[in-house]
A and B are shown apart, each in its own frame.
Chain A
Amino acid sequence: MAIGLPKRLLTTAATALLLAAGLAACGDSAEPAGAPKTLTYWASNQGSSLDADKQILQPELDKFERQTGIKVTVEVVPWSDLLNRLLAAATSGQGPDVVNIGNTWSASLQATGAFIPFDDATIAAVGGKDRFVPAALAAAGAAGKPPTAVPIYSLAYALYYNKKMFADAGITAPPATWEDLVTAGRKLTGGGKWGLAVEGANISENAHHAFTFGQQYGGEWFDAAGKATFDTPQNVAAIKRYIDFMAVDKIANPSNAEYAQNQSVSDFANGKAAMLLWQAAGSALKAQNMSPDAYGVAPVPFLASPPSGGKRVNSMVAGINMAVFKHTKNRDAALQFVKFMTSDEEQVILNRTYGSLPSVKTVAGDAAFAAPEQKALAEVLGSTAAPLPQVPAESQFETLVGTAMKELFADAASGKQITEEMVKAKLTNAQQQVRS
């Protein structure tokens, strides 16, 4: 019983406890010299689950340890947490050595200065600039600055179409223009089925389409000085074209306006919709029991007669980059690991597993990427894909324009007529909220 103990003893014990707690908090966690090097790696969620990713990555990390003696501890971070976790690590100067980042964050994260820039010497240490697919490397930081990361998985948008539904409707070839897509969509819509599935409440998806359509109409979301130019006539026309699939053409189910959890992929896989614009949907479709024979993959359509200034772009350069934190105590080991993950062998193994494309040119011709889906994606990535604006305010574009489009879809779904004035008003409102 505490009451029976001498007070002095209690006081001493309490003091000791506090001191011990304080000392432990101050303890230095640096490794003693000569110990085997350990790296911490935050991987992004590329497979069907966090566990699946861990099981895919672990054998490769073991291989790396056998080759170099460097142990890599991996944590797969879900997308919903990744950016917040990266920011916390950047702010505190503590955290992992090597991380995966979504390539659209490159310029924003570059501005934090938290990552080692891949200048000529650094990029040479991981195999050299010329190894990488130029489009993918262009999405790794602002133009004119050394990339803040190097690409490891590349993706592009494509048009996925249900072969049987196309055959039943008497459509022989996938549409190459938006006009054809609408014609085909009208034939395919009816009886509870729809021509096209869109992910109307998903802000990022919306913003990605805003970019592609904007490019085709000759619009830019930021000017050369990095200032937002959301409400130009070109951008208004571009957004209206996309929303009109639901509002005017009525080839997309109004319910799609509330889709934000990849329900459009499910609708396509279940035959409720005949077409889908998505990036590397193959593995997701397989997970929902849609056989690769059941669908075709074609490039995202273009405008039949593009306006002046319209660009021949039908996808963003989508993908994942790998970056090294400046605060790492094992810079050389971290770069060695980046080199390993972007080596020919690992690029084939990992991208084959994830259904993405290699970010290095040397293995582009590998048999692992000869499936129709990968061939179509590689074709787009190599010729008609462009990176999203590499400016620090890019995330504001995604949030504000993506949200404006979500609201327009909601209006369209409730039967409101979508006019150019409405689109322009939404985009003007979004633009006014951009902080520079």
Chain B
Amino acid sequence: MTATTAPDRLRRPATPPRAPARPARRTRRSLLPYLLLVPAVVLELGVHVVPMVVGVWMSLLELTQFHIRDWSTAPFVGLDNYRATLDVDTAAGQELLHSFWVTAAYTVASVGLSWLLGIAAAVVLQRPFRGRAFLRTLFLTPYALPIYAAVVTWSFMFQRDTGLVNQVLLDTGITDHRPFWLIGGNSFVAVLVVSVWRSWPFAFLCLMAGLQNVPDDMYEAAYIDGAGFWRRFQYVTLPMLRPVNQVLLLVLFLWTFNDFNTPYLLFGGSAPPAADLVSIHIYQSSFIIWDFGAGSAMSVTLLLFLLVVTAGYLFLTRRRRSDA
């Protein structure tokens, strides 16, 4: 019982109790908060909303290099860009669909592995021991490294003849030949490894913070009731981490699905078919060939897909919570 009720307290920690408003001088005072909100609203509009609306508008235009200088000359083509890019009977449509499935597999694998590593490390480091601070810092290093330097280093490590990865595989006798990592089928594994390496520290950080909020007496109570490590993990740790997990999985999903930097840096601009992630596919098949309308159509489609997934996810997790 405790396990299911306690998280409810944690779920809405951000709302401070509202002070009762005094009716006197109300009109004059109520102006200030709105005024103070203006910079944030202006920035939000400028940084998020306006570019998004412009992107949607672009996707309805035949915006190529002929019209990039003066968008008003670009012919309005309605949904033609969507039709052209999403038609799976064409070569371009098939490649986009293939890229979508690759990305879906990549995202599921990367988020799953990152979460597993994160929770394992967080649980191991939950109790104080000598060297805990050092391990925490060490585990967080990939998250703190600049992405460019980190991924380029990985690309050197994955090189077939001179890379560290193959050297280790050969020295330990795991393989007797040098496989390719940056081209062909293994490229999926390569980009997945780098992605997990980059994102699991974030999962670790969030879960570690979440574990700080689990009261010790709950573990003690479970221990006295005779629960072993796994039962405590299953009935205390996991339920207590649910609010953290809900946000963490969503954020990791969105970041990973949209990930552009990792494949772009790892494969030098164009990804091999096995690792043709959708963000780099859109970049390669539209922006780099000056078809900005089609690129926007693909981006808007991706945005809609992510919105639907996010909404569905939130709906399901909310419902489960109210069921509980």
Chain A residues with a Cβ under 8 A of chain B = 7, 10-11, 14-15, 18, 21, 87, 90-91, 93, 108-109, 111-114, 201-203, 253-255, 257-258, 260-261, 263, 392-393, 395-396, 399-400, 402-403, 406-407, 409-410, 413-414, 429, 432-433, 435
Contacts and interface: CB of A to CB of B under 8 A. Distances in A.
Contact of B288 (A90, A261, A395): A395
Contacts of A10: 32
B184 A414 contact: yes
Name the 3 nearest CB pairs between A and B, nearest first: A260-B268, A432-B91, A410-B183
Interface stretch (B64-72, B137-145, B299-307): B64-72
Given A109-B65, A395-B289, A410 B180 contact: yes
B167 interface: no
B65 A112 contact: yes
Contact of A258 (B35, B65, B159, B288): B159
A202 B267 CA distance: 10
B266 to A, nearest CB: 11
A174 B82 CA distance: 53
A111 B291 CA distance: 13
A261 B161 contact: no
Contact of A90 (B69, B159, B272): B69
Nearest to B85: A435
A435 B269 contact: no
Interface residues of B, dominant DSSP: loop
Given A109-B65, A202-B268, A392-B66, A257 B183 contact: yes
A253 B178 CA distance: 13
B38 A432 contact: no
A124 to B, nearest CB: 26
B90 interface: yes
B272 A407 contact: yes
Contact of A113 (B31, B69, B160): B69
A396 B267 CA distance: 19
A403 B284 contact: yes
B36 A435 contact: no
Contacts of A91: 68-69, 71
Interface in B79-97: 84, 90-92, 95
Contact of A435 (B272, B288, B289): B289
Contact of B160 (A108, A255, A399, A402): A255
A395 B270 contact: no
Nearest to A406: B270
Interface in B251-272: 267-270, 272
A113 B183 CA distance: 39
Nearest to B186: A414
B290 A410 contact: no
Nearest to B71: A91
B120 to A, nearest CB: 33
Contact of B68 (A112, A254, A255): A112
B288 A399 contact: yes
Contacts of B71: 91
Contacts of B29: 7
Contact of A203 (B38, B184, B269, B294): B269
Nearest to A92: B69
